């Protein structure tokens, strides 16, 4: 059972996240030959203040 965890910044629409889940699931199915019903996708949304690049949080960029 493939389990895919994705971390993204919060703020994307439900439609965007649903499309991401569908596309990732399809890619795993094609790449590994895994049955759709066995593929798990977990999305972790992080607040901008918990995500930093170059020592600066995204809420301050």
Name the active-site residue from 2, 20, 34, 43. Answer: 2
Three-class secondary structure assignment of the chain? CCEEEEEEECCCCHHHHHHHHHHHHHHHHHHHCCCHHHCEEEEEEECHHHCEECCEEHHHC
Does 35 participate in catalysis according to the annotation?
Answer: no
Catalytic residues: 2
């Amino acid at each position: 059972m493939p389990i895919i965890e994705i971390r993204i910044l919060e703020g994307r629409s439900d439609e965007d996240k649903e499309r991401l889940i569908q596309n990732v699931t399809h890619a795993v199915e094609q790449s590994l030959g895994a049955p759709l019903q066995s593929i798990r996708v977990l999305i972790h949304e992080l607040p901008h203040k918990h995500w930093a690049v170059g020592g600066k949080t995204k809420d301050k960029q």
